[in-house]
């Protein structure tokens, strides 16, 4: 009996050593795409198209210029959940791109949108709501606008904290400027939606900004895009970006955006974009 127990203990120890010594499989980044880039914004049909492309999920538009309350409505939420279950394509996150036309810094409507988007995120089982600050909402060189945005986010983040939702700033601001806003708001529910292409286009260095933000666990999701070039055919070094994200233990979604050359069709480009994203991010 003692001999059998000793052999059993040795076998378990050997198994443990083999397990500990085995190389750990790298966790794949979940790849999705923005519904607006798939030309199916505010449309449950985006799930069927995403499935055809082999995507893991989609980033849904909260609203549009023609339908400002779209994703706030329970019947729409149920339609999205049904399409997700039917296709197996997940809802990665929500994006309020309409804030580019109706800026938080100068209009009260986005306050209601953000508040309702937190409720929508909870109902849909997602954790991230992208807040867009481009075009009319651009905050570069606008200190007064930043102050307004900070005060409004101070009002909104307690609700996000309560519901377990992250409000994510996407803008042309530098990593340090994003940090300044986050520190001024003072809430763990505020993070950065990082887009390396936007950073480079604005004159920032994504290869230094990703570690800067990532080490503070402030990058909740990222966009993959090369503007009017196929993904991977622009100037960004995506394998290097992937390595940096892995080093900071990034665990969020990566959603493909735009990346359609002029004169081509989105339907022809996205299979190539998805294939490239998979080759780099797994």
**For 201-223, what is each residue's pLDDT tens digit?**
999 999 999 999 999 999 999 99
pLDDT, tens digit, 9 for 90 and up, residues 182-207? 999 999 999 999 999 999 999 999 99
194 three-state secondary structure: strand
Give all domains of the chain, ordered by start, each with its CATH number.
28-281 (3.20.20.150)
pLDDT of 110 above 90: yes
| Average pLDDT score, the chain | 93
pLDDT of 3 above 60: no
What is the structure's pLDDT at 25?
54
Q: Give the CA diameter of the chain.
A: 80
DSSP E strand stretches across the chain: 31-34, 57-61, 90-96, 128-133, 166-171, 190-194, 219-224, 254-256
What is the structure's pLDDT at 67?
97
> What are φ and ψ of residue 128, in 5° steps?
-125, 135
């Amino acid at each position: 009996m003692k001999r059998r127990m000793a052999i059993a203990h040795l076998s378990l120890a050997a198994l443990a050593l083999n397990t500990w010594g085995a190389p750990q499989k790298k966790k794949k980044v979940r790849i999705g795409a923005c519904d607006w880039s798939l030309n199916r914004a505010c449309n449950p049909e985006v799930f069927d198209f995403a499935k055809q492309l082999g995507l893991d999920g989609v980033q849904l538009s909260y609203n549009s210029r023609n339908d400002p309350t779209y994703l706030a409505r329970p019947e729409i939420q149920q339609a999205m959940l049904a399409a997700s279950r039917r296709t197996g394509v997940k809802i990665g996150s929500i994006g309020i791109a309409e804030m580019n036309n109706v800026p938080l810094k100068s209009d009260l409507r986005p306050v209601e949108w953000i508040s309702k988007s937190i409720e929508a995120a909870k109902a849909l089982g997602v954790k991230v709501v992208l807040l867009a600050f481009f075009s009319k909402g651009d905050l570069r060189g606008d200190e007064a606008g930043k102050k307004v945005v900070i005060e409004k986010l101070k009002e909104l983040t307690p609700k996000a904290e309560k519901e377990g939702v992250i409000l994510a700033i996407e803008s042309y601001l530098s990593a340090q400027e994003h940090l300044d806003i986050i520190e001024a708001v003072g809430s763990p529910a505020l993070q950065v939606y990082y887009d390396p292409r936007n950073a480079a286009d604005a004159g920032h260095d994504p290869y230094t900004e990703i570690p800067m933000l990532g080490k503070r666990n402030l990058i909740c999701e990222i966009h993959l895009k090369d503007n009017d070039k196929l993904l991977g055919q622009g100037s960004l070094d995506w394998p290097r970006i992937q390595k940096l994200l892995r080093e900071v233990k990034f665990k969020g979604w990566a959603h493909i955006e735009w990346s359609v050359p002029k004169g081509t069709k989105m339907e022809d480009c996205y299979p190539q974009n998805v294939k490239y994203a998979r080759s780099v991010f797994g």
